[in-house]
Structure 1
Amino acid sequence: MIPPKFYTYTIILLLLIQFGYGCNNKPASNTSSVTVVKTVKKDSVIVKEEGLTDEQQFRQFLKQFKDAVKTKSKTQLVTMFHFPLQTLPQWTNDELNNTTVKPQEGLISQNEFPTYFDDIFTKDAVKLIPASGENDLSEIDKTTTENYYKTLQQATDKGSTLYELQKQYTEDNGKETSFGFVFGKIGGKYKAISYYRPWPLK
């Protein structure tokens, strides 16, 4: 015969198990709490990004650009360019006065970009861009009178700053050459808006 106390202990044990399961099984409450935390963090990031200066925004973009170049990620890099992309060699005001410069001839579309990708991101460029430093960077004066930069400014956010990355180096054959990019803010985000070298890309 089973002692009466056995039934009492069994009932108590079952109640404890049920109570314990009920306390731990609260998906709705936990989910709500996590959502609130994520929203707060997301809002904080947005506020922080909106408060960045042009230079801070550019610095963030440049780091991402360098990382994408290092891995030669075509998919990521194409999103970091503004199209049509200007690819003529940089022209000076003197050249503009003495020769016929047609900026439209240097423009390439997003569809054309893959055709010129390896010409832009050569073996030397993939090595030099990620390793570039402060001496390779310059901020373009907003009041510049150079037509090259003024032409590029037309596509950028009003009052924003242009930045330039230029590399001069010696090729394996001993020939000195260079390349560069100009970056501008369009729609609140920095992008590469021109690429140049001593000879036309197209």
Structure 2
Amino acid sequence: MEILQSPLEDCFIVVPRAFKDARGVFCETFNKKAFELASGITVNFVQDNQSTSTKGVLRGLHFQTGAKAQAKLVRAIQGSVLDIVVDLRKSSKTFGQSFSLVLTAENRKQLFVPKGFAHGFITLSETSVFGYKCDAYYDAASEGGIIYNDATLKLDWHLSEDEFIVSEKDLQLPSFKEATA
């Protein structure tokens, strides 16, 4: 497993090694000891989530706050997604900066999203299966978000906005400035 630093502080790209033979492919998708040694971050995942989406489905930007904040390890199990994170930690050198990465079943790349980050993704392929591990349980009272088309962040979702399929709940999310006030 290769652990690469992204441009954002404490956010890592995780690239599992794949072993191919005539039977198919074997891949260790996560190794706690290797991750902690390479990243310096201790993580204890307690919940796994999975979603299935069609092309253009945009989920995010979501986060949890306070003691219920979540770190996540995200990946595309099937298809292709554009994954975007935004650093919301005011004490961070990369506060307010974003990073995006195309995650596919073929490239097997994963993104470690630390606590204090907003996270979202959009399906680029006809369908996707997206999975993620969380180090804290979902808590509706701690839920927060930022509108996907925030004027300050100016995120590039790689599709035209007329292709987006966004939930009514996500359409009501506040701006970056409002969410970080």
Which TM-score applies when normalising by structure 1?
Answer: 0.23
- Looking at both structures, which has the greater relative contact order when contacts are Cα pairs under 8 Å and sequence separation is at least 6? 2
Determine which structure has more spread, i.e. the larger CA radius of gyration.
1
Greater helix fraction, Structure 1 or Structure 2:
1
TM-score by length of 2: 0.25
Q: Which has the higher strand share?
A: 2
